[in-house]
Structure 1
Amino acid sequence: MKRILQYSLYPIFMLSAWCLILLGVQSGLNQYLVTIPIIALFGIIALFLEKWMPFEKNWLDGKDWNLDFTYYIINYLIKISAQFSFIWVSAYFTFFKWFPTNIPLWIQVIFALIIIDFFLFFVHWQSHKYQWLWKLHAIHHSSERLYFLNGEKRHALHQILEGGPGIIACLIIGVPQQVVVLALAFLAINMMMQHTNLDYKAGILKKFFCVAELHRWHHRADFKDAQVNYGAWLTIWDYIFKTSFDDPKIYTSEGIGEIGIAEEPNFPKSYLKQIAYPFRK
């Protein structure tokens, strides 16, 4: 029974979020009155699921909750600001009308997700190659446990650098602002399931989607071990650029090992000190 539940959790969680978001918007409700409560709801569900069936019991301590919640709120406000900037820029400037706005909304959201997801992957990948980007991105890797909330733990500047290119690309090709909002909301919920401490199994779905079983490899403490599985939603980019990794035998017998940054054992613990971290010598 537990095995059936483990394999059912990811598709049920994600499909439920997908349907609620689309049905809410198509019923005529404001996109923010739909997406913000649904993200909060699924965060609460993820919190209780993690306590009920954790992947790692040692990750239930909650000592970093206040820090990660601060990151979540600030970075979500950055996303909202970017979305309103999208409206302002599109009102004053004329861009290309290449995006197919005459197709069903759910397909439009998938197309926008693919665009945004590629740029998220690419900037993330480059953030492990260049020191100045890594100093910003290191905040995300500084967590010593994984759970649903730290999927959005990012330096504010890196949040802009990582998310900006995809949103700008959508703006240039004529993606409607509502479609971008829905895509980002769905991506936020996927981030929860990518970082969750929930002991679920994705089965064949992990060949296509960036689930926790894959992303935990990316957060291993040794820097050289973490150079894999950069994707945010789709695994295709990791396959194309040969950065994918999975070894179920090690996963089940030895676990993934320590989480965090082994090379930086005294990483700052407060929000302000972490924000200042990339600019220290």
Structure 2
Amino acid sequence: MERLFQLGVYPLIMLSASGVLIYGIQSGFNQYLIVLPVISFFGMLILLLERWMPYEIDWVKGKNDWNLDLTYYIINYGIKLVAQFLFLWIAGTFTLAAWFPTHLPFWVQVLIALTIIDFFLFFVHWQSHQNEFLWKLHAIHHSSERLYFLNGEKRHALHQILEGTPGIFICLLIGTPQPVVVTALAILGINMFMQHTNLNYKAGILKKFFCVAELHRWHHRADYRDAQVNYGAWLTIWDHIFATAYDHPGMQQQLGPIGIAEERNFPNSYWKQFLYPFSKKVRQKAKTLFDQDVNID
């Protein structure tokens, strides 16, 4: 029964959340009266499940990070809301292309928009491990020393904008309806919960196609060189195309510490982390990877 639960919980959560979001928004209900309750419900459900069947018991206790991660979530969700309202304003003000296949079923449109957004999330994420300044922004996400559902959205506000803007902008340019983008972002948000959760689930064959916790935990290994794999947010196809996919039977037992090994003194307040990419003094206190002349190639 436990094995059945482990294999079934990921598709059950993703299909049920996606189904409610797609049906509700397609039916014309207020987007945010659908999205906010669905995200809140599934967030709390995943929180309870990961306490009941944790991958790592030590992560359940927390590391005095709940308030910080919740702050990140609220601020970054606010950035998403601003982006959605800007999307509506631009689409209503300017004449844009009408290339998006709006004649297709709503759920197919959502999958198309989600795939577009997902590619650019992957690409910016991948480049954030190659470029020094982008890494300084992205390091905030890697600074967590435990993984659980909430810290999937832990990222610098500027990095949030840099990651999300390209895909959403392309959707805007080709004439994607705003409700389609809202639905796609909400589904992606649920997958981010499941990608970072401390719930000990198994994705089985689905991990060949979707970016699940079994794969993504390895990306958070404290050893920087080991973490240069599994960048995807939703689909694994981009990692396979760009040869950054990694899946090994020993991953489950060999995870080890997560975080940033070179920066165990990483600042633990929102504002110090906000200043981290721009302040050499803050980075020196954290023993910055790049300031120690470590080769990132």
TM range, normalised to the smaller chain?
over 0.9
Counterpart residue number, 2:284: none
Counterpart residue number, 2:262: 263
Is residue 80 from structure 1 mapped to residue 81 from structure 2 by the alignment?
yes
Is residue 41 from structure 1 mapped to residue 38 from structure 2 by the alignment?
no
Alignment of 1:1-281 (within 5 A): 1-62=1-62, 63-248=64-249, 250-252=250-252, 254-281=253-280
Deviation (angstroms), 1:22: 1.4
Deviation (angstroms), 1:32: 1.1
Which AA in structure 2 matches 1:264? Answer: E
| Distance (whole Å) between structure 2 residues aligned to residue 16 and residue 10 of structure 1 | 10
Which AA in structure 1 matches 2:238? Answer: W
| Distance (whole Å) between structure 2 residues aligned to residue 42 and residue 162 of structure 1 | 24
- Measured against aligned partners, the alpha-carbon deviations of 1:113-147 in whole angstroms (never above 9, x if no partner) come to 00000000000000000000000000000000000
- Measured against aligned partners, the alpha-carbon deviations of 1:35-93 in whole angstroms (never above 9, x if no partner) come to 11100100000010011000000001132100000000000000000000001111111
Give the conservation status (yes or no) of the 8 Å contact 2:195–2:212: yes
| Distance (whole Å) between structure 2 residues aligned to residue 196 and residue 22 of structure 1 | 23
Which AA in structure 2 matches 1:155? Answer: H
Give the conservation status (yes or no) of the 8 Å contact 2:149–2:195: yes
| Distance (whole Å) between structure 2 residues aligned to residue 73 and residue 99 of structure 1 | 31
Between the two proteins, the alignment pairs up a number of residues equal to 279
Which AA in structure 2 matches 1:255? Answer: Q
Give the conservation status (yes or no) of the 8 Å contact 2:146–2:259: yes
Give the TM-score taking structure 1 as reference length.
Answer: 0.98
| SS at 1:268 equivalent | coil
| SS at 2:54 equivalent | coil
| Distance (whole Å) between structure 2 residues aligned to residue 24 and residue 101 of structure 1 | 18
Deviation (angstroms), 1:259: 0.5
| Distance (whole Å) between structure 1 residues aligned to residue 223 and residue 254 of structure 2 | 14
| SS at 2:261 equivalent | coil
| Distance (whole Å) between structure 1 residues aligned to residue 128 and residue 103 of structure 2 | 36
| Distance (whole Å) between structure 1 residues aligned to residue 134 and residue 95 of structure 2 | 32
Which AA in structure 1 matches 2:30? Answer: N
Deviates more, 1:23-32 or 1:105-114: 23-32
Deviation (angstroms), 1:28: 2.6
Q: Which runs of 4+ in 1 moved over 2 A?
A: none
- Measured against aligned partners, the alpha-carbon deviations of 1:157-197 in whole angstroms (never above 9, x if no partner) come to 00000000000000000000110000000000000000000
| Distance (whole Å) between structure 2 residues aligned to residue 118 and residue 106 of structure 1 | 18
Identity %: 68
Which AA in structure 1 matches 2:69? Answer: D
Deviation (angstroms), 1:27: 3.2
| SS at 2:276 equivalent | helix
Which AA in structure 1 matches 2:18? Answer: W
Consecutive unaligned residues of structure 1, counting only runs of 5 or more, are: none
Which AA in structure 1 matches 2:37? Answer: P
| Distance (whole Å) between structure 2 residues aligned to residue 275 and residue 27 of structure 1 | 40
Deviation (angstroms), 1:263: 1.0
What is the Cα-based RMSD across aligned positions, in Å?
Answer: 0.7
Deviation (angstroms), 1:31: 1.1
Give the conservation status (yes or no) of the 8 Å contact 2:218–2:251: no
| Distance (whole Å) between structure 2 residues aligned to residue 55 and residue 99 of structure 1 | 41
Which AA in structure 1 matches 2:199? Answer: L
| Distance (whole Å) between structure 2 residues aligned to residue 197 and residue 140 of structure 1 | 16
| Distance (whole Å) between structure 2 residues aligned to residue 76 and residue 19 of structure 1 | 21
| Distance (whole Å) between structure 2 residues aligned to residue 118 and residue 26 of structure 1 | 24
